Amino acid sequence: MITFTDEAKTKIGEYVEKIDGCLGVRIVARRLGQHRFNYDITLVTENDTSDSDEVTELGSFSCYLDSDSSANLEGATVDWVSDLSGAGFKIDNPQAVISWDDPIAQKIQQVLDDKVAPSLAGHGGWVELTAVEGDAAYIQFGGGCQGCGMSQVTLKEGIETTILAEVPEIKRVLDGTDHESGTNPYYQSG
């Protein structure tokens, strides 16, 4: 089940009140990788509902989820946050938390999260650790990195170099991405 903070309920309520016939919000959670999600939050009117929707009543409005999103948001909390960098909805999804039982895999994950992910995110991409076997770490690219012609340079000169320096137990980093299926590799005309 998905929950909403009081701040999120207040903000959604403000938006719902502005639109005649608005029933609430729809949240769509698309799985991009093992632990990566894309979220869309939209306002819902009568024409936007389906008999198959899971509906959560939240006082003056409702939340609508399709079955996949319901499963992808199990245990998630929607919050409204505001700080100096801006304001918006934040979804804390326990399914997006990556934790490994293997301490070496957890060290690699920490390197990816802290040192690699911020650079890739600037290009609309991401990378996930999919497995550790012996001295090899297997990764998968997504977003703007899937299908990008520079992905192997990013792997060898960025990701692998960083992991090998930080996790001495690892000797190889291998890419298991299907780059042929990438639909939006990062490209910036210059």
User: What is the spatial distance between Cα 16 and Cα 123, in angstroms, rounded to a whole number?
Assistant: 34
* pTM exceeds 0.75 for this model: no
The Cβ of residue 97 has, within 10 Å, a number of other Cβ atoms equal to 8
pLDDT greater than 80 at residue 188: no
Answer whether residue 80 shows pLDDT above 50.
yes
Of the chain, the percentage scoring pLDDT greater than 70 comes to 88
Band of residue 183 on the pLDDT scale cut at 50, 70, 90: low
Cα 92 to its chain centre, rounded Å, is 10
What are residue 98's phi and psi, to 5 degrees? Answer: -105, 120
pLDDT for 189 equals: 41
Per-residue model confidence (pLDDT) at position 184: 57
Distance CA 52, CA 67 (A): 8
Instruction: Write down the pLDDT at residue 87.
Output: 92
DSSP 45-83: EGGG--TT-EEEE-SSSEEEE-HHHHHHTTT-EEEEEEE
C-alpha distances (whole Å) from 29 to each of 38, 44, 163, 186 are 6, 16, 30, 23
pLDDT at 58 over 50: yes
Structural domains in the chain, CATH included, are 3-96 (2.60.300.12), 103-181 (3.30.300.130)
What integer pLDDT is reported at residue 89 of this predicted model?
95
pLDDT digit string (tens) for 119-176?
Answer: 777 777 778 898 999 999 998 877 767 676 666 777 777 888 999 999 999 999 988 7
Band of residue 19 on the pLDDT scale cut at 50, 70, 90: very high
Q: Return the higher-pLDDT residue of 120 and 92.
A: 92
| d(C-alpha 82, C-alpha 70), whole Å | 26
Strand 77-83 and strand 62-65: the pairing is unpaired
Average per-residue pLDDT for the chain: 86
Cα gap 130→165, rounded to integer Å: 19
